[in-house]
Amino acid sequence: ADSMSEVGNGTLTTHVLNTATGLPAAGLVVRLAQLQEPGPQWTELAQRHTDADGRCQPLLAPGQAKAGTYKLHFETAEYWQGLGHTSFYPFVEVVFIITDPAQKLHIPLLISPYSYTTYRGS
**Do the annotations mark residue 120 as ligand-binding?**
no
**Do the annotations mark residue 31 as ligand-binding?**
no
DSSP lists the bridge partners of residue 49 as 29
DSSP lists the bridge partners of residue 109 as 16, 118
Sign of CA dihedral 77, 30, 122, 34: negative
**Do the annotations mark residue 119 as ligand-binding?**
yes
Q: Which helix (H) or strand (E) holds 77?
A: helix 76-82
Question: Binding site for substrate: which residues?
Answer: 15, 55, 119
Question: Binding site: which residues?
Answer: 15, 55, 119
